[in-house]
Structure 1
Amino acid sequence: MGDSFPFLDIIFFAMIAAFLVLRLRSVLGKRTGNEKPRRTPFDAQANQREARDDNVIDLPGRRDGQADEAGDDSATPIPRGAGFDRSAMPGLEAIRGVDRDFDPEAFLGGARSAFEMIVEAFARGEKDTLRPLLADAVYDGFASAIDERESAGESMETELLGFKKIAIVEAGVEDRTAAVTVRFETDQVNVVRDGDGKVVDGDPDHIARVTDIWTFARDTGSRDPNWALVATRTPDDDD
């Protein structure tokens, strides 16, 4: 009789853990470890056709110098539900109208996890990790960049030091496809080395402030709760 309470406690906490895992999947899809259609975030098919030209495949490496030098202030964790641009609110309400389970704050937490997984998996060349998180055309672009890097005998090192800001900047629904665009501002150290370990791009002693704008989408009419990354861009792409 006295031993029954610890046993019930174990069952109770196991149920909580199972609930949290299912909740994370519903927020931003399946995870393998722990969560660029560019013209408009609401036309996934059209954007996927343009992905090879428009998606920013060299995201972590920044070969074109698309990151500004970070300031002296240290990166600090952002709070849950970092923020939403006022202009995104009607779109978020539209998504809530077709998906009552959609939680913008929980989505931001999932988007943060997705960003970390995708950036780090791309640097390590882990295609299997990227595959379930990316739309087909975006995956093809990332996979092609990984193949080119490996063919050149190069390796990438990416250290994500912290998030300075995460905010939903655009959202909406079109033809049952819900899309949410998130702006990430992070501090990163990115280095590309050749086969001999010599640095050919980046600086291991340089912290860069990097801004990325990613769009996630899913078919609200599908029973599949997974969101996928369908587009990425940088502020320079909007100029």
Structure 2
Amino acid sequence: MTEFLDVYNIFFLILAVAIFLRLRSVLGRRTGHERPPFDPYSSRGEQEKPSRSGGDNVVTLPRHRDEAPATGIETDERIENVDRMAPEGSALNNALRTIVSADRSFDAKHFLTGARSAYEMIVTAFADGDRRSLQNLLANDVYDSFVGAIADRESRGETIESTFIGIDKAEIVEAGLQGATAQITVRFKSQLISVTKDSEGRIVEGDPNAVNEVTDIWTFARDTESPDPNWKLVATESGD
């Protein structure tokens, strides 16, 4: 369990909390501008592409700024990891460096590793209608939208049978710091098999023998002044 307790490994901590501790609280508040999520199991052309903004979804909690770094990784190494992901001097590199400076628990390499795991867990939980797991991983706005889509599916008596094949590629494409809230956008290219069936077990969408190549662009956010190291999914978008 020690690897789940390393604060720098932010997303593995999310998974540990979701699977073993089942936190009852969810960071976030409604903004009045809720957006529907991208449904990876519906026709790609029918999905809306919501805005990536969502930084107001994280509740601010105080943190003592004189706390020792929790990652055990020196700043120089964290900067080197940023430079490996984005060309030095680029807008993305500068944005990630800003987050490193603001959040001594942040390391881009471990963030991306955790993001891959969180992506698979969220996609799988959505297919299974697992509201509890989603609640621990999503900001309130996104959670409400996902649950709405699940409820709509259930009202039609439909179920999804899915197999997550894997993630071909995950890369950070955008980052920023708005006040104390860090936002990082990741493009995922994955493969999955999904079939939607009606209440009689008849296939209404999908092919059990077809592997779908999916591109999703997801934005995660965290309050850098909070002692909670968890990141939340705050916006989703389908990619081309």
Q: After TM superposition, give the deviation of residue 23 of structure 1 in Å.
A: 1.8
Q: Distance in 2 between matches of 1:146 and 1:164?
A: 26
2:44 to 64, 88, 91: 64
Q: Conserved in 1, the CA contact under 8 Å of 2:194 and 2:207?
A: yes
What's the counterpart of residue 143 of structure 1?
Answer: 147
DSSP 3-state at the match of 2:168: strand
Cα pair distance change 1:157/1:140, threshold 3 Å: same
Asked if 2 retains the 8 angstrom alpha-carbon contact of 1:66 and 1:210, the reply is: no
Name the counterpart of 2:112. Answer: 108
Secondary structure, aligned partner of 1:210: strand
Give the conservation status (yes or no) of the 8 Å contact 2:9–2:111: no
Q: Residue 91 and residue 208 in structure 1: after superposition, are their counterparts in 2 closer, same or farther (change >3 A)?
A: same
Q: Does 1:225 align with 2:229?
A: yes
Matched, 1:205 2:209: yes
What pairs up with 1:37-76 in 2 under 5 angstroms?
Answer: 49-52=32-35, 55-58=36-39, 60-65=40-45
- Measured in 2, the distance between the counterparts of 1:158 and 1:132 equals 21
In structure 2, what is the equivalent of residue 169 of structure 1? 173
Q: Which runs of 5+ in 1 are unaligned?
A: 1-16, 35-43, 68-79
- 1:64-143 aligned at under 5 Å gives the runs 64-65=44-45, 84-86=85-87, 87-143=91-147
Q: Give ranges in structure 2 of 5+ residues lacking alignment.
A: 21-27, 48-80
Residues 1:108 and 1:217: Cα distance change in structure 2 (over 3 Å): same
- Give me the whole-angstrom Cα distance separating, in 2, the residues matched to 1:45 and 1:93: 28
In the superposition, the TM-score normalised over structure 2's length comes to 0.73
Q: Percent identity?
A: 43
Query: What is the CA distance between 1:188 and its match in structure 2?
Result: 1.1
Aligned Cα RMSD in Å? 2.5
Say if 1:25 and 1:226, in contact at 8 Å, map to a contact too: no
TM-score (norm 1): 0.74
1:86-128 alpha-carbon deviations (Å, 9 max, x no partner) = 4421111010010122110100111011001100000000000
Structure 1 residues 66, 167: CA separation in 2 closer, same or farther (over 3 Å shift)? farther
1:65 CA drift (Å): 4.4
Helix, strand or coil for the counterpart of 1:33?
Answer: helix
Please say if residues 178 and 218 of structure 1, whose CA atoms lie closer than 8 Å, have aligned partners that are also in contact.
Answer: yes
Answer yes or no: is the 8 Å Cα contact 2:29–2:141 preserved in 1: no
Q: SS of the residue aligned with 2:115?
A: helix
Matches of 2:8 and 2:100, distance apart in 1: 18
| Partner Cα separation in structure 2 for residue 201 and residue 158 of structure 1 | 12
What one-letter code is carried by the residue in structure 2 that aligns with 1:63? Answer: S
Contact (CA 8 Å) 2:38, 2:238: kept in 1 or not? Answer: no
Question: Are the structure 2 counterparts of residues 94 and 66 from structure 1 closer, same or farther at C-alpha, using a change threshold of 3 Å?
Answer: farther
User: Residue 6 of structure 2 aligns to which amino acid in structure 1?
Assistant: R
- Between Structure 1 and Structure 2, whose CA radius of gyration is higher? 1
